Amino acid sequence: MTAFTMWKPLDAIELTGLPEAPGVFEIATLVRNVLFIGSATESLASTLQSQLESPAVPHARAGRLYFRYAATDEAERLQAELLARYRDRHGALPAAQTTASPQRQQRHLKAV
């Protein structure tokens, strides 16, 4: 299994210096309840920056969300494994996870 970084606040300062490489990431609350498991097929830095700038993640700007990541060339495969493991453990996908509707993800992250 690829090693994740330590949890960091999802803010512009922490996003500087992220690798321009593929990888997987998790977004969580202050108490590390995972809300979203994502992958970046090209650039973790760009993908997480877009998450920070998204209107779906207003609490990130207030310092209320955290992230961790693992750089890997097998981002999509690892994301699928993490989602399957999460579903096995919790009986459902993370709260903001969606396979059908980006609007559903946006609504849920706004509510957190």
The pLDDT of residue 1 is: 55
Rounded alpha-carbon distances, angstroms, from residue 111 to 29, 77, 81, 97, 106: 12, 29, 27, 14, 9
Average pLDDT, the chain: 82
Locate tokens 């979203």: which residue? 36
Q: What is the pTM of this model?
A: 0.80
Domains of the chain: 8-111 (3.40.1440.10)
User: Is-contact 100 70, C-beta < 8 A?
Assistant: no
pLDDT in tens, 47-93: 988 877 776 665 665 668 899 999 999 999 999 999 999 999 999 99
